[in-house]
Amino acid sequence: MKVSFQIGKIMGIPIKLHITFLLILPVFALIFANNPAPYGFSNVSEVSTRYILAFATTLLLFSSVLLHEIGHSYFAKKFGVKIDSITLMLFGGVASMEEIPQNPAQEAKMAVAGPMTSFVIGAICLIFNNVLSDLQPFFSDTNIFHVIWLIGYINLIVGVFNLLPAFPMDGGRILRAWYAINMPYVKATQKAAQIGKMFAIMMAVLGVLANPWLILIAFFIYIGATEEARTTTVSVVLEKVPVRKIMSSNIISVQSSMTVDDLSKLMFEKKHMGYPVIDDNSLKGIVTFTDVLTVPTQERANVLVSDVMTKDVFTISADADSSEALKIISTQNIGRILVTDNNSIVGILSRTDLVRALQLLSE
Ligand SMILES: [Zn+2]
């Protein structure tokens, strides 16, 4: 299922809306419509006006979240980091980058840029609101001040919240950059993640005593810290290992004219889950156990490999870093990648191979 939709491009970066964003939009509008001033518009007597204001505030709020992400992306681009897209989702925005520079000064600048953008938007809105309030006698409708004030106020909160020293917040990255000045990147990440977890536990305790919402945020921070420490360790460990070293090199290829029935027999016999499809020395696709499962058992004798195989195949050079292979496998969400050397296929690398290598190497 398609979970996000592109709505446009800014600085050449595709801007996408995640399906969870479309679900949260009316929820936010409802909250704003039913909260009393100054955090909402329930005091506005006319119902339609109330909802228009609430909806406008929600849209402006998410536009400022988008600007926050653009703030990060601007510096990322400046440092040569490729940004695949910016996606607006349930918990705000996410700029997905190819890789975060392992250079403390650059990472810190990139991380600070987001909260700074939020602070600037916040300050502009609050100042603008003050100026407008002085001119109030000239305006008949003051609801617009209220919207501007609310956007300013929430942006300041977003800025502060993002500076919390815990992954996945920007503050966590700033903390890591600070540690990374004096220690290797993996160690700095682990240290920053530890602080983040301690912070999450403190927040959860506070949540039990004061506000249950904090428990939810604490949980989110704890998961974020664990995840960041894991992925960083993974990519650094795999960075220096060539694909050739961990791939399976005894590859068996199949022809596209083979029936799915024969293929499933081959799979049981050879115990491999994925096979390159090669006709006359040229690569046609890749076929896996999942493809076999799409065909009902009684029809497998009549369906050919060419009908079920995946035609656009990802390949990687045998001399590339394994972390590169992991990146392709996880961003493309595929189970295995074919390994080439001088245009011929020399092996196949699966998720399982990567996990096994990682277990061996991190010991
Ligand atoms: Zn941010």
How many A from CA of 79 to the centre of ligand 1?
Answer: 17
Same domain, 146 and 190: yes
Percent of the chain with pLDDT strictly greater than 90: 25
Amino acid at 346: V
How many A from CA of 114 to the centre of ligand 1?
Answer: 4
Same domain, 232 and 262: no
Number of Cβ within 10 Å of residue 191's Cβ equals 17
Same domain, 293 and 172: no
Same domain, 330 and 196: no
Name residues whose C-beta falls within 8 Å of residue 300's C-beta, 6 or more positions apart in sequence.
Answer: 259, 260, 261, 264, 292
Q: What's the mean pLDDT in 148-168?
A: 89
Same domain, 141 and 250: no
Q: What is the 3-state secondary structure (H, E, C) of 200-222?
A: HHHHHHHHHHCCHHHHHHHHHHH
Same domain, 170 and 278: no
Q: How far apart are CA 238 and CA 234, in angstroms?
A: 6
Domain boundary among 236, 255, 274: 236
Domain boundary among 169, 203, 236: 236
Domain boundary among 205, 221, 236: 236
Helix (H) / strand (E) element for 10: namely: strand 4-10
Ion ligand 1 — residues with CB < 5 Å: 114, 162, 170
Same domain, 105 and 214: yes
Q: E strands within 140-259?
A: none
Same domain, 49 and 95: yes
pLDDT value of position 99: 67
| C-alpha dihedral (222, 223, 228, 230), degrees to nearest 10 | 110
Residues 15 and 66 sit within 8 Å (Cβ to Cβ) = yes
Q: Which of 46, 69, 228, 239 is catalytic?
A: 69
Q: Nearest-CA neighbor of 43 among 149, 141, 140, 143?
A: 143
Q: What phi-psi label fits residue 93: left (phi over 0), alpha (psi between -120 and 50 degrees) or beta?
A: beta
CATH number, domain of 335, equals: 3.10.580.10
- The tens digit of pLDDT for each residue in 303-314 reads 999 999 988 888
pLDDT value of position 325: 87
Sheet holding 92-97, edge to edge: 4-10, 13-18, 83-89, 92-97
pLDDT grade, residue 90 (50/70/90)?
low
- For residue 311, the SS3 value is coil
- For residue 52, the SS3 value is helix
Give me the domain span that covers residue 357. 243-361
pLDDT value of position 114: 93
Q: Nearest-CA neighbor of 251 among 280, 269, 274?
A: 274
How many A from CA of 179 to the centre of ligand 1?
Answer: 19
How many A from CA of 69 to the centre of ligand 1?
Answer: 6
Same domain, 160 and 282: no
Number of domains in the chain: 2
> Given a cut of 80, is residue 218 above it in pLDDT?
yes
Same domain, 231 and 208: yes
> Given a cut of 80, is residue 94 above it in pLDDT?
no
> Given a cut of 80, is residue 245 above it in pLDDT?
yes
| Known catalytic membership, residue 228 | no
How many A from CA of 75 to the centre of ligand 1?
Answer: 12
Q: Is 0.75 topped by the overall pTM?
A: no
Residues 287 and 304 sit within 8 Å (Cβ to Cβ) = no
Helix (H) / strand (E) element for 117: namely: helix 104-134
How many A from CA of 45 to the centre of ligand 1?
Answer: 37
Q: What's the mean pLDDT in 134-155?
A: 80
Same domain, 213 and 66: yes
How confident is the prediction for the chain on average, in pLDDT? 86
Same domain, 75 and 178: yes
13-18 and 4-10 beta bridge pairing? antiparallel
Q: How far apart are CA 2 and CA 194, in angstroms?
A: 36
Exposure on the CB side of residue 355, measured as CA atoms within 13 A: 6
